[in-house]
Amino acid sequence: GNSVTQMEGPVTLSEEAFLTINCTYTATGYPSLFWYVQYPGEGLQLLLKATKADDKGSNKGFEATYRKETTSFHLEKGSVQVSDSAVYFCAPSVQGAQKLVFGQGTRLTINP
């Protein structure tokens, strides 16, 4: 079955630092890949997605590229802000089943 491994947190960075949160997955077929963000006390919000190999998803300065050869979908941002402090979840979908498999989440804290 599908599974996903995310970089363990918590991750603490200073404002304007470069961010990478690693995500690798195992899946049959060709899943779509998603990153979600959860701010304190809120539900999950879709941050970005990619539906096929070599696609790059981007939103709010975050980017992730679908790497089929390494089964990875690492999240990056060039210059983080305090407002980016949240928990980030990587999730591949199960092809043909319309289901997501979530990683355990990575808590990110940005200090001013």
Partner 1 sequence: NAGVTQTPKFQVLKTGQSMTLQCAQDMNHNSMYWYRQDPGMGLRLIYYSASEGTTDKGEVPNGYNVSRLNKREFSLRLESAAPSQTSVYFCASNEQFFGPGTRLTVL
Q: Which helix (H) or strand (E) holds 103?
A: none
* Member of 19, 33, 44, 64 binding partner 1 (CB under 8 A): 44
Minimum CB distance to partner 1, residue 17 (Å): 25
Does residue 42 belong to the site contacting partner 1 (CB under 8 A)?
yes
Q: Report how far apart, in Å, the C-alpha atoms of 46 and of each of 5, 32, 49, 80, 112 are.
A: 18, 13, 8, 18, 25
Q: How far apart are CA 73 and CA 14, in angstroms?
A: 23
Instruction: List the one residue from 7, 23, 80, 100 that touches partner 1 (CB under 8 A).
Output: 100
- Distance, in Å, from the CA atom of 111 to the CA atom of 98, rounded to the nearest integer, reads 37
36 vs 80 by CB, closer to partner 1: 36
Q: Closest separation between CB of residue 14 and partner 1, Å?
A: 25
List of residues contacting partner 1 (CB under 8 A): 34, 36, 42-46, 49, 89, 93, 98-105
